[in-house]
Chains A and B, each alone.
Chain A
Amino acid sequence: MSVKSYDAIIIGGGHNGLVAAAYLAKADLRVLLLESASHLGGAAAEAEIAPGIYAPALAHLVEAMPRSIERDLKLAKYGLQYPKLPLATIALEQEGRHLHLSNPEKMAASLGEADKAALKEFQREITFYAKLLLPLLAQPALSAGADMRAYLHRLVLRLFASRRGSLAQLLHLMPISIGDRLDAAFENPHLKAALAADALLGSDQGPYEPGTWFHLLYREALRRLGRGQSVPIGGIGMLTSALASAAAALGVDIQLGTRVIRIITRSESVTGVETETGAVYSAPVVISSLDPILTFETLLGRAALETQPARRIEKNLSRGLSAKINLALDARPHFRGLDEQDLNARLLVVPSLGELDRAYVQAKRGEEPLDALYEIVVSETGAGSYILSAIKHYAPWENGETVNPLEALLHMLDLYAPGIERSVVSGEYLAPHAIEKRFSLRGGGWYQGNMRVDQLMAFRPSPGFSQDVPAVSGLYLGGVGCHPGGGLSGLPGKFAAAAVMARRKRK
């Protein structure tokens, strides 16, 4: 048995693990990063779906990574570059009357007077409250301390001073469902469903479930934290490669194909980790970027926590209702009514709110829904071939036997882009259960714990838990299951590294 000693060990080489490792290495710590797969990137990696063709394995958009992380880790130097503007969003329509949601002139042309005014009002509302929420996301989660009181104090004062919103309106909107909010304001059913998409994607809730308006707000705030929905030049894989190069340059020791099976503790302090092969690496600090529950139950053992905290962390819910689809195309897809440059947009296929609600119920029951919400990103891989990466929202846990979801998607796509079926070279469909298996994402959820009001901020991953685990000295959580959650922000990792440094300073 070999023992190697480090200052900190990071479990998991996803973007959060890499960010945490890089920040610690930057602070002159000797850092070891252990990844069980043969490549880095986790859910933000690229996967080979056909010989030589790589597609986004799971996530296909970077939304929330703050520029401060890019700057601190000099990611541009390592090849991470973005187009100037975030992706536009276009909600497709079969007849070609698409809604260009990011283009005010085109929107004005395709909407009635009432909806035009309502849209302006709705966007203003989301922007206003998202800005109020933003400070909470840009820093480690505030618990019920003096900082939280100060924040609430400022919030209330700002709401009283503002003509845009009010405390009463915020309290009214917080628990409201996105469906009810949109039904009250808009006439155009296509517009309503398109606006609901961002509140629903990635969640385990239907459009008429309480708290979904807040989910939209949270997502908007996350986008404002970063660049908004973007794809790095060269594809999503560039994010991982830039982070990996930055970490390596800072001196992080990265080991692939090394699965950690145990976090070793002695008298309630972390002393290191043990890998599948029996190798032991020792360090006084371990950051796990894996799912918090998996970390506690499989790596640490429940005995390390007292009964009541262990039961609280167990309550964290992670349930995925989204499937991932990747298609390799040998020709440019032609969507009816879209220009060439519109292909760079984020395309949404949305049924009505009612159909979405039905799809939610069907998928929850394990049935293949008739209609679903698709978020599509098309990218060129060179040599005239294209990748179509889609998220199907409201997909059952496993593929049914009667319906082939890939065929259903192609059939549906053919309505919007005639002839696309003939250009498909290969494709893959990952149902939630396949996502769970491949990415160690509990329940097939994408965020190591769903991003619902009851599991956000001070309650993420569970009440009483945050990046810092006081019960086990030296153990930190640094995955997306921690505050502020998803959107490839890298912040959970950064905050974990900050917690480590704060603890070291106190000593």
Chain B
Amino acid sequence: MTGADEDKMPPSKIDFADEAVRPDPVLFDETQAGEPVFARHVLTSPLHISVARASRTNLWEEWNGVTTPQILSAFEDEYRALHTHAGLSDVSPLAKYRISGRDAGAYLAHLLTDDVTMLAVHRHMQVVFCEEQGFVVGDGTLFRLDEVEYRLVAQRPHLSWLLDSAPGFRVKVEDVSASLAAIRLAGPLARPLLAAAGFGGIEELKENACVWCRPGGMPVYVTRGPLPAAYDLWIDREDAGVLWSRLMQKGEPYGVTPVGRQACDLLRLEAGLPLEGHDYAGAFYAPGKEERLTPYDLGWGDRVDLVHGVFNGRAALRRIAGTPARWTLLHLEFEGSRDAVYRRLTTEKAFAGWITSAAYSPLRGRHVALARVLTAHASSPHLQVAAEPRSGFETGFLPVRKATDLLRSSVQASESR
């Protein structure tokens, strides 16, 4: 590339034909004899080039095998943007499945614990799926795109379970994780930003609803929720980079900031949403019997409809439906320092449970956590958390209290303004 060419290019725009930003072609060469096949294999999201440009920290982590930013600029800035302005993040590594065909509804009703046939087109709902003993295999969001087309989005891949359940139904199950990109825009200014960026009809979009928009002529499926004030934008992988640039450009007056996974995860923790792999393990890979949980243990009893027909786990869930769940998922906050995950919860020295995910919330000035607590102790006023994470060094216990939904109220306040 000559110097003259470089001058012509506006600095803020990414040219995807640019040699400098293209993936290294060596990655796609034939491997040499004796070289491990994975040596040069790096999975990247369709938005990797755009995201990598925004990275000032070079902190990366893996999510479903895809390289994902942990922090892009500074954690505090990203977190602040999510709460005061708008944060833009790449959620393309989510596992995404297209489920279509004449029996798609019946198939999903058989797979999932809830009656999904009532889901209207262009709406979405939170769903959970179980195996035959009633333990949770995974959870996700189900979108209905059409009469006979659904999209299931989950934190972790579940393709083999989806395919195992398919015989007997006229249904096609496709993994569209790689071909479909996803951008999440969250924060109080997300809606005006989208409106400014050419997303017509965004003002009327209700929670748990979806709409097709055509900003700049690109078809984008916009869905609102389940995180408060968050919009997910589903788009072809070819258009993803262009949309990202467009949102960054149009969003400048709204203070849009690219955010990494750590800030996003805190947002989800503040909203009190359990996450597969953190707050529970799927039944097929849970390391022990104790680690397998039913929907009732996770507080998802409202996602179980025992009368809508045969579905996976129904017989087992029917047996336990009347009895109190062994565990209760608590959304807690407490003061203290250091990493709090896996710390023990007690009530007057009796074991009560432990913390499954936790982080310090600058907004609250406290740790906010999700905890798995024995139902018998869940409503105890004496619930306390171990002050030190390591056993043997326990210096005492800290009191905890139920977390308030600060986030949702702050968002509502800003939106009504």
Binary interface encoding of chain A residues 371-402 relative to chain B, with 1 for a CB under 8 A from any of its CBs, else 0: 00000000000000000000000000000000
Interface membership of B282, Cβ < 8 A:
no
Alpha-carbon distance A308/B161, docked complex (angstroms): 10
Give A295 Cβ to nearest chain B Cβ, in Å. 13
* Interface positions of B from 103 to 120, Cβ below 8 Å from A: 106, 110-111
Give B109 Cβ to nearest chain A Cβ, in Å. 9
Classify the secondary structure of A's interface with B: helix
* Interface positions of B from 291 to 311, Cβ below 8 Å from A: 307, 309-311
Q: Please tell me which one of the listed residues B167, B169, B314 contacts residue A306 in the complex, with CB atoms under 8 A apart.
A: B314
Contacts of A304 in B (CB 8 A): 310
Binary interface encoding of chain B residues 302-343 relative to chain A, with 1 for a CB under 8 A from any of its CBs, else 0: 000001011111110000000000000000000000000000
* Interface positions of A from 300 to 315, Cβ below 8 Å from B: 301-311
Contacts of B168 in A (CB 8 A): 297, 301-303, 310
Alpha-carbon distance A297/B310, docked complex (angstroms): 15
Interface membership of B76, Cβ < 8 A:
no
Give A307 Cβ to nearest chain B Cβ, in Å. 4
Alpha-carbon distance A302/B111, docked complex (angstroms): 12
Contact A302 B315 (CB under 8 A): no
Contacts of A307 in B (CB 8 A): 110-111, 131-132, 161, 164-165, 312
Q: Please tell me which one of the listed residues A303, A305, A311 contacts residue B169 in the complex, with CB atoms under 8 A apart.
A: A303
Total residues of chain A contacting the partner, CB 8 A: 16
Which of A306, A309, A471 counts the most chain B CB atoms within 10 A?
A: A306
Contacts of B311 in A (CB 8 A): 306
Contacts of B110 in A (CB 8 A): 303, 307
- Name the residue on B nearest A464 (C-beta): B132
Contacts of A301 in B (CB 8 A): 168
Q: Please tell me which one of the listed residues A268, A306, A470 contacts residue B312 in the complex, with CB atoms under 8 A apart.
A: A306
Contacts of B314 in A (CB 8 A): 306
Contacts of B309 in A (CB 8 A): 267-268, 303
Contact A306 B106 (CB under 8 A): no
Alpha-carbon distance A305/B314, docked complex (angstroms): 10
Contact A471 B310 (CB under 8 A): yes
Binary interface encoding of chain B residues 155-167 relative to chain A, with 1 for a CB under 8 A from any of its CBs, else 0: 0000001001101
- Name the residue on B nearest A314 (C-beta): B167
* Interface positions of B from 126 to 168, Cβ below 8 Å from A: 131-132, 161, 164-165, 167-168
Q: Please tell me which one of the listed residues A268, A305, A308, A470 contacts residue B131 in the complex, with CB atoms under 8 A apart.
A: A308
* Interface positions of A from 266 to 325, Cβ below 8 Å from B: 267-268, 297, 301-311
Contacts of B131 in A (CB 8 A): 307-308
Residues on B facing A (Cβ under 8 Å): 106, 110-111, 131-132, 161, 164-165, 167-169, 307, 309-315
Q: Could you write out 17 A-B pairs with CB less than 8 Å apart?
A: A267-B307, A302-B167, A303-B110, A303-B168, A303-B169, A306-B311, A306-B313, A306-B314, A307-B131, A307-B132, A307-B164, A307-B312, A308-B132, A308-B312, A309-B132, A311-B164, A471-B315
The 5 closest A-B pairs by CB, nearest first: A302-B168, A308-B132, A307-B165, A306-B312, A307-B312
